[in-house]
Amino acid sequence: MIQRTLPPLSTLRAFEAAARLMSFKAAAEELHVTQSAISHQVASLERNLGATLFLRLPGRVELSETGAVYFPVIQDALDKIALTTDLIRQNNGPASLTVQVYVTVAVRWLIPRLQAFKEASPEIAVNLDASLLDWEFNPDRADIGFIYTRTPNRPNLSYTLLRRERLVGVCSPPIARAIKAAEDLRHFSFLAVSGTTEDAATWVASVGATGVSQKSAPLFDSNLLAIEAAISGQGVVVVPHFLVEADIAAGTLVAPLASDVMQPGGWYLVHQERRGNEKAMRKFLQWIQELA
């Protein structure tokens, strides 16, 4: 039997991505790590091999002679591992999917609807990765992402537009009664949500309001918390309409100016291109597209 003395898999993945994309920066974006981490992983592999794999040139990298020989071998090996893994996932045992979804979307939209999917496809277990921080899809943590983006073009990922959404400004009924025109907005706090301040600015501009600022407003790390604060009468919040549709229907939130504006980006389902034919993946994608 051949004794295998292999380098760590993480160093091989970093090398393969950097060689395929011919960029440490692009490899870092694809693998969801820092550029420094890619550089360290490649350097570790070079020490392990006792050979230089890349020529570090001003503003770019090139494969060395050794790197050019090593690259197709490593790429082929990783491709075979990935393809075989996908086949096993498709054909063995109970199916399981992890869906990366923002916590607000999970609580206010997806979870109330998941029972219908469980009843239609009881053989598929759906796990939710509801992060407050990860706005981009991370295929190392989830099979499918339900994300908002203005740039659905990351390499090796497949994006399906699920919906384009309207932004709406909402508040509690008592505050709504005091807002007769756009200029009245300046008298109330705008509830700022980290990472989405451009949404509020877009909506405020669309209604023609002036003198409205989020600089001194309470700052929340999710739309979920800001919506709850708005319900309790703490101010006005600008959010995608589908997140507060039920609250507006119930009367706990009101859109005082009856004005909305489209978000610049879209809400997408995203997954790795090579996994698009997996049975569980196809079922979930079809179900959620019909639902939306």
Q: Of 48-62, 116-130, 143-157, 212-226, where does mean pLDDT reach its minimum?
A: 212-226
- Residue 22 CA to residue 70 CA, distance in Å, equals 14
Asked if residue 179 is part of any domain, the answer here is yes
Asked if residue 84 is part of any domain, the answer here is yes
Do 172 and 249 reside in the same domain of the chain?
Answer: yes
DSSP secondary structure string for all residues of 5-50: -PPPHHHHHHHHHHHHHT-HHHHHHHHTS-HHHHHHHHHHHHHHHT
Burial of 114 (0-12, 13-18, 19+ CB in 10 A): middle
Do 184 and 252 reside in the same domain of the chain?
Answer: yes
Q: Of 29-33, 37-41, 71-75, 128-132, where does mean pLDDT reach its minimum?
A: 128-132
For the chain, what is the domain count?
A: 3
Asked if residue 69 is part of any domain, the answer here is yes
Residue 234, helix vs strand vs coil: coil
Stretch (H or E) spanning 57: strand 54-57
- Which of 29, 55, 27 lies closest to 41, judged by CA? 27
pTM over 0.75: no
Asked if residue 3 is part of any domain, the answer here is no
pLDDT at 187 over 90: no
Do 245 and 207 reside in the same domain of the chain?
Answer: yes
Q: How far is CA 39 from CA 10, 23, 30, 154, in A?
A: 12, 10, 14, 21
Q: How many residues does the chain have?
A: 292
CATH number at residue 83: 1.10.10.10
251: left (phi over 0), alpha (psi -120 to 50) or beta: left
31, 60, 89 - which closes a domain: 89
Cα 118–Cα 119–Cα 124 angle in degrees, nearest 5: 40
β-sheet bridge partners, residue 190: 236
pLDDT in tens, 1-42: 567 788 999 999 999 999 999 999 999 988 888 999 999 999
